[in-house]
């Protein structure tokens, strides 16, 4: 494999110096930052949609996830067990600058999420000259799959995990003498954490692929501990769903289990593809 500055195609075959590599990397980072900032500015300038509809949407009764889950419950004959009644809350701020900096932070976070595929594309363009012809296809596929999995994970966290977790926790009460007064900072921290963690979790097949390539993980190991993984997944599904109803828990548990099985398949494919010891 050539170093990052050696282009295997066309007339640009001269090896680049270290400073030239840094210069090339700098422009890839500049373009990535420009795209992220463009998305962030657009989000900041459209608060009625991105703040009222996107950020604060899950605290409204007509949020799409609540309507979809309720309709699904009736469709499968479970009645209204999957219908969630959202508790009316008024988010509080404890400082005069909190709303402004929260607005900026949300805009920047949205810019990162929307610009993530482009950032990976810039990464691909940076490493492409160092790859041999036979390596170009797999790396490009890797970047596409990683982007898709991350965005699916973000969507799963936002539309499924967060609404269920939030409604369970906001309605949980140890005593009638205790009242939950939620702050804007607490709300945004919670939604950021769940959505980003979900996005990272959905990268599990990519992580499993690399661990298998490094012979640190095998499909045999994953199959052996499949039952343990199922128990963990069911526990997670039970914790973040708002009711003890099995149907609601399965809405969260089934996608996570499918992700695990896909990871087992990826690990087995990597072992066969690269003739690793299983």
Q: What is the pLDDT of residues 147-184, one digit of tens each?
A: 899 999 999 999 998 988 888 888 888 898 998 888 99
Query: What is the rounded distance in angstroms from the CA atom of residue 144 to the CA atom of residue 83?
Result: 36
pLDDT score for 13: 41
pLDDT score for 2: 42
Q: Which residue, 161, 176, 182, is CA-closest to 251? A: 161
Helix (H, G, I), strand (E, B) or coil at 215: coil
pLDDT score for 4: 42
pLDDT score for 11: 42
DSSP state of 86: P
pLDDT score for 202: 92
Task: Report in angstroms the alpha-carbon separations of 118 from 35, 121, 124.
Answer: 8, 5, 10
Helix (H, G, I), strand (E, B) or coil at 15: coil
pLDDT score for 21: 76
Helix (H, G, I), strand (E, B) or coil at 6: coil
What does each of the 278 residues of the chain score in pLDDT, given as a tens digit? 444 444 444 444 446 677 787 888 899 999 999 999 999 999 999 999 999 999 999 999 999 999 998 998 888 887 887 888 888 888 999 999 999 999 999 999 999 989 988 998 888 888 777 767 776 777 778 888 888 999 999 999 999 989 888 888 888 888 989 988 889 999 999 999 889 889 988 999 999 988 898 889 999 999 999 999 999 988 887 776 655 667 667 888 889 999 999 999 999 998 988 877 64
Query: What is the rounded distance in angstroms from the CA atom of residue 67 to the CA atom of residue 86?
Result: 11
Q: Which residue, 202, 229, 219, 192, is CA-closest to 277? A: 219
């Amino acid at each position: 494999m050539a170093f990052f500055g050696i282009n295997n195609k066309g007339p640009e075959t001269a090896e680049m110096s270290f400073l030239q590599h840094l210069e090339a990397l700098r422009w890839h980072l500049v373009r990535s930052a420009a795209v992220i900032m463009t998305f962030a500015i657009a989000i900041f300038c459209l608060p009625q949609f991105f703040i009222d509809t996107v950020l604060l949407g899950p605290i409204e009764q007509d949020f799409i996830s609540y309507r979809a889950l309720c309709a699904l419950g009736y469709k499968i004959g479970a009645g209204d067990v999957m219908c969630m009644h959202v508790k009316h809350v008024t988010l509080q701020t404890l400082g005069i600058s909190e709303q402004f900096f929260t607005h900026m932070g949300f805009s920047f976070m949205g810019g990162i999420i929307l610009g993530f595929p482009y950032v990976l594309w810039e990464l691909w363009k940076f490493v492409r000259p160092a790859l041999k012809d036979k390596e170009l296809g797999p790396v490009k596929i890797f970047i596409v799959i990683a982007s898709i999995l991350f965005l699916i994970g973000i969507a799963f966290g936002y539309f499924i995990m967060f609404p269920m977790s939030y409604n369970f926790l906001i309605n949980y009460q140890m005593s009638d003498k205790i009242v939950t007064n939620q702050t804007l900072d607490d709300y945004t921290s919670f939604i950021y954490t769940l959505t980003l963690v979900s996005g990272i979790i959905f990268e599990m097949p990519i992580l499993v692929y690399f661990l298998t390539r490094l012979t640190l993980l095998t499909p045999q190991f994953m199959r052996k501990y499949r039952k343990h993984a199922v128990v963990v997944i069911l526990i997670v599904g039970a914790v973040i769903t708002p009711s003890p109803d099995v149907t609601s828990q399965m809405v969260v548990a089934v996608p996570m289990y499918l992700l695990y099985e896909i990871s087992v398949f990826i690990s087995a494919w990597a072992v066969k593809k690269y003739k690793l010891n299983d």
